[in-house]
Chain A
Amino acid sequence: MDDTVKNMAKSKNTRVIPGYHLTLGIVVTMLSVIVLIPLASVFMYSIRISPREFLELITKENVRNAFVTSIGSSFLAAVFNTVFGLIVAWTLVKYEFPGKWLLDGLIELPFALPTAVAGITLSKLYSDSGFFGKALAKAGIHVAYTQTGIVIALIFVGLPFVIRAVQPVLEKMDGQYEEAAFMLGASPKKTFFKVILPELRPALLTGFGLAFARGIGEYGSVIYISGNSAKNHTQVVSYVIMQKLSYIDYASATAIALVMLVISFVLLLFVNIVQMKQSQRTNLL
């Protein structure tokens, strides 16, 4: 105890609570060893690749197609999840119906369920002999081993993001905005699009960005349902990296990974900016 008091006196009186240097040391060391140094190794390796070679590696036809497939499917899935996520969040907050507690409790299933389990389950359900696949096949729609399958898998893994971002905002909004709009004579439609939707926009964008980012890097839930055929453009970027790794083609794997890191970094930055603006706004209120 005496030591603490002495240390306190020494440390310019700004840090009364002990443990600053200790925790700083622990946090920086662990972060470096587990996260930063391994990631830096990827960058270090990529420096050894010449710019021309780098460009060649990432513009190969199958790599380009994989990027288009991953980004396109993730975007579609994120849009889908934003629309349905808003509907689901709205319903769960505003209405009461039997079985609501069960559905509300299941929303985070995609986070709790291992991706490989989700992957084989969806693949089986949507294959032409599966529960959904059979009915869809009769209508001439094939989901498994097509890009539609990739989108379905990404909708599954991204489902909780928008719902969980929007729900708390809707809960806090109570009825006052709607009441005010109603008093001023706005129709329910106008109230929704002019009053409620703008309030929800940051939460929707955050959820969209997180679901999009998650989808681009997704591996386990996608590879079973996608079929992974270069010809049909059903290879995702993560699959291509894994393929290069098993061929010990580390240069290609690193180059592709680097592009992917940049994309997810940009998306993360976008989400952070949206959240910062949101907190600035709430601080003003």
Chain B
Amino acid sequence: MSEQQKMEKSKKRTKICLITITVAFLVLMLVVPLVSVLASSLREGFGFYIQAITTEYVRSALKVTILATVIAVLINTFFGICAAWLLTRFSFKGKQVLATLIDIPFSISPVIVGLAYLMTFGRLGWFYPVIRAFNQFFGTNIRITFAIPGVVLATVFVTFPYVSREIIPVLNAEGKDEEEAAALMGAGGFTIFRKITLPQMKWSLIYGIILCTARALGEFGAVNALSKTRGETFTLPLEIDALYMSGTETSITAAFAVSSILVIIALIILFARNFIEHRYKNKN
């Protein structure tokens, strides 16, 4: 056997070996858990499944989750666009610091987010007297921690940089020449944004919104610290936790049934992500 053939053979062996490791690793770590959630959710039959995902608690949790997610997506999309415009279209002192500060929520444990909101708006928080004074003056009963506003705020915090992070690199790569030309020719800010910037960042904006939605739907740690009333302020992940922790065989199956809703959403998100990436690659 010649040297060349030997080399070819060893190359082929490496290839088969690496493909086997990759497939085994990904199937064991990703595919099996995915299939297992869906299988576990149907263990007690389809009738039970439907029953489990339509209880009073689950419907309430679904409402809270959707509310928090919609608000988080709206706020963070608005913020993301403003931040991207500011950071990619202007240069100013402290820009790098600002960019780093915006990314803080990525690196903070969700439990600490819960703690931070308790320290701010909770009974011991410095903002608590302000809320109390407001409530006394207007006769309202606004609460933030252990109530819906806290859940929404925590969700906004954990998803804060998700939109801006996706569009900033794209706008940076596109450069600001077109906008500058348009501005010099007398176009207003909103026209420039609508006609030039928005088309440039369209796909990354959609992708950012998708990621933000995924993260908002699944937030657990931060919300767990700020929400204690099942059926009122619980989100879907908290409801799953409550069902799983009650420990009976049927409630665990119910937990997986509720989980399957989020799994299906996660799969749709992955599909959308791959679709957008594919389009983006084809365009370039």
Which residues of B lie under 8 Å from residue A118 when comparing CB positions?
33
Which residues of A lie under 8 Å from residue B252 when comparing CB positions?
120, 124
A26 located at the interface, meaning its Cβ lies under 8 Å from any Cβ of chain B in the complex: yes
6 further contact pairs, Cβ within 8 A, besides A31-B98, A35-B105: A17-B176, A87-B22, A250-B118, A257-B115, A261-B112, A264-B107
Which of B19, B21, B120, B127 has a CB less than 8 Å from the CB of A97?
A: B19
Whether B112 lies near A35 (C-beta < 8 A) is: no
Give A132 Cβ to nearest chain B Cβ, in Å: 8
A contact residues vs B (CB 8 Å cutoff): 1, 4-5, 8, 15-20, 22-24, 26-28, 30-31, 34-39, 41-42, 44-45, 84, 87-88, 90-92, 94-95, 97, 99, 103, 105-118, 120-122, 124-125, 131-132, 155-156, 159, 188, 213, 216-220, 224, 237-238, 241-242, 245, 250, 253-254, 257, 260-261, 264-265, 267-268, 272
Given contact pairs A213-B107, A217-B111, A218-B109, A109 touches B270 in the complex (Cβ within 8 A): yes
Whether A38 lies near B120 (C-beta < 8 A) is: yes
Whether B22 lies near A245 (C-beta < 8 A) is: no
Whether B273 lies near A114 (C-beta < 8 A) is: no
Which residues of A lie under 8 Å from residue B269 when comparing CB positions?
112
Whether B192 lies near A18 (C-beta < 8 A) is: yes
CA gap between A29 and B32 in the complex, in Å: 45
B contact residues vs A (CB 8 Å cutoff): 7, 10-11, 14-15, 18-19, 21-23, 25-34, 36-37, 40, 75, 79, 82-83, 85-86, 89-90, 92, 98, 100-105, 107-120, 124-127, 153, 156-157, 160, 176, 179-180, 183-184, 186-189, 192-193, 211, 214, 217-221, 224-225, 236-238, 240-241, 244, 252, 255-256, 259, 262-263, 266-267, 269-271, 273-274
Whether A113 lies near B118 (C-beta < 8 A) is: no
Which residues of B lie under 8 Å from residue A94 when comparing CB positions?
15
Whether B18 lies near A90 (C-beta < 8 A) is: yes
Whether B109 lies near A238 (C-beta < 8 A) is: yes
Q: Taking CB as reference atom, which chain B residue is nearest A239? A: B111
Which of B14, B89, B153, B270 has a CB less than 8 Å from the CB of A17?
A: B89
Determine the main DSSP class of A at the interface with B.
helix
Given contact pairs A117-B218, A117-B240, A245-B118, A124 touches B156 in the complex (Cβ within 8 A): no
CA gap between A53 and B120 in the complex, in Å: 22
Nearest 4 Cβ contacts at the A-B interface = A114-B218, A217-B109, A219-B221, A18-B189
Which of B7, B127, B218 has a CB less than 8 Å from the CB of A113?
A: B218
Whether B33 lies near A125 (C-beta < 8 A) is: yes
Given contact pairs A41-B126, A117-B262, A219-B109, A108 touches B186 in the complex (Cβ within 8 A): no
Whether B37 lies near A121 (C-beta < 8 A) is: yes
Q: List 20 interface pairs A-B (beta carbons < 8 Å), by A numbering.
A: A1-B186, A16-B184, A17-B176, A19-B193, A23-B86, A26-B82, A27-B82, A27-B86, A35-B104, A38-B116, A38-B117, A38-B119, A44-B126, A97-B23, A111-B214, A113-B263, A116-B220, A124-B252, A250-B119, A253-B115
